[in-house]
DNA sequence: CTCGGAGCCTGTCTGC
DNA sequence: TGCAGACAGGCTCCGA
């Protein structure tokens, strides 16, 4: 579901829980908790304060005051919704738990109770994961991860080097490869390629200097615009306040196959690259 | 090593 | 109306 702009939006919303303290944790789908049992996870985070909320690629990181970090990956359909604690209209934890467990809404799989807030974790397809990591484990993930495209480290020169590492693979696969560039998923890959006027099936080693520059520029432009618009809500993405983003109104190609290109009236095409649907304008993109 | 394909899950939509 | 099949925002694992 969420790509970099959506995760970034959620991370901004979650700044509200910095300084707040976990009081309880409930999981209806314990399998989603990866490196530890749900019970142990709950025990370990109990009474910990949230020291910081950040993002590593598409992974949401809740840094705790005991040095550990809760790492949440929303995958396709994960949703984090933050509500005021008083919304539950109960005074005691036990009451909240009982009421919740008895009337658990569909797809609400995990609940983080904090002193002032409740963080609800929904996930239709059960792909999303939660882990509790120490500093070394975070470092290992970082080591295998590429560059974050909205940071200054992502220079045109750096981008060229990454493309060279991508060898003769298709440009869309390289854009979506997290060991090279972080956070670009299926929606933004198609949109970036349209903006840069490059066909998704082009091999990286066939790209001209000018096209590489355009791709670098469009990557930042599209991602930043999407962050400004608080993400793309195609079906079920919502931010942590349960509101839709609005980038879906600015899509040029994604899921617009058999509709006219907004720039040249050519029909938008769909193909499959790396098992993923790919959308492009065969006239605008070369 | 790289690559393509299956798999994880559930829901929705399409076409027969 | 029913039902099978395709498809969905991500990523990992497996075998060739």
Domain ranges across chain A: 4-144, 156-281
Active site residue A55: no
Q: DSSP secondary structure string, A15-30?
A: GGGTT-BEEEEEES-G
In CATH, the number for domain A156-281 is 1.10.8.50
Q: What are A227-278's pLDDT values in tens digits?
A: 999 999 887 789 989 899 999 999 999 999 999 999 999 999 999 999 999 9
Q: Which nucleotide lies nearest residue A167, CA to C1'?
A: B2
Torsion (CA) A184, A227, A11, A133 in degrees, nearest 10: 20
Task: Decide: CB of A187 under 7 A of nucleic strand C.
Answer: yes
Q: What are A158-199's pLDDT values in tens digits?
A: 999 999 987 789 999 999 999 999 999 999 999 999 999 999
Task: Decide: CB of A127 under 7 A of nucleic strand B.
Answer: yes
**Out of A16, A55, A58, A149, which one is annotated catalytic?**
A58
Task: Decide: CB of A262 under 7 A of nucleic strand B.
Answer: no
In CATH, the number for domain A4-144 is 3.20.190.10
Tell me the C-alpha to C-alpha distance, in Å, between residue A55 and each of A2, A13, A73, A279.
12, 12, 10, 28
Q: In what helix (H) or strand (E) does residue A225 lie, and over which residues does it extend?
A: helix A209-228
Q: What are A46-97's pLDDT values in tens digits?
A: 999 999 999 999 999 999 999 999 999 999 999 999 999 875 555 555 666 6
Q: What angle do CA A78, A268, A218 make, to 5 degrees?
A: 65
Distance A258 CA to B16 C1' (A): 22
Mean pLDDT, chain A, as a whole number? 93
Pairing of β A117-123 and β A276-281: unpaired
Task: Decide: CB of A203 under 7 A of nucleic strand B.
Answer: no
- Rounded-to-integer distance, Cα A173 and Cα A171, Å: 5
- Rounded-to-integer distance, Cα A75 and Cα A93, Å: 30
């Amino acid at each position: 579901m969420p790509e970099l702009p959506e995760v970034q939006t959620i991370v901004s919303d979650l700044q509200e829980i910095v300084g707040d303290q976990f009081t309880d944790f409930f999981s209806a789908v314990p399998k989603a908790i990866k490196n530890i049992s749900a019970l142990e996870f709950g025990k370990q985070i109990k009474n910990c304060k949230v020291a910081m909320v950040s993002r590593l690629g598409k992974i949401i990181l809740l840094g705790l005051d005991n040095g550990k970090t809760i790492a949440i990956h929303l995958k396709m359909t994960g949703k984090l919704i933050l509500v005021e604690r008083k919304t539950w209209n109960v005074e005691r934890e036990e009451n909240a738990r009982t009421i919740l467990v008895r009337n658990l809404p569909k797809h609400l799989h995990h609940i983080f109770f904090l002193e002032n807030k409740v963080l609800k974790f929904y996930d239709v397809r059960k792909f999303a994961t939660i882990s509790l990591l120490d500093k070394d484990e975070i470092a290992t993930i970082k080591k295998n991860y590429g560059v974050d495209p909205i940071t200054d480290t992502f220079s045109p020169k750096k981008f060229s080097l990454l493309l060279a590492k991508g060898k003769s693979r298709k440009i869309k696969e390289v854009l979506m490869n997290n060991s090279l560039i972080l956070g670009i998923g299926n929606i933004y890959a198609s949109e970036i390629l349209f903006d840069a006027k490059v066909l998704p099936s082009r091999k990286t080693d066939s790209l001209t200097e000018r096209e590489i520059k355009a791709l670098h520029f469009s990557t930042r432009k599209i991602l930043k615009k999407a962050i400004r618009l608080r993400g793309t809500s195609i079906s079920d993405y919502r931010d942590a306040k349960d509101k839709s983003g609005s980038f879906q109104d600015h899509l040029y190609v994604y899921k617009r196959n058999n509709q006219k290109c907004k720039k040249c009236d050519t029909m938008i095409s769909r193909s499959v690259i790396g098992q993923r649907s790919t959308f492009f304008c065969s006239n605008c993109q070369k």
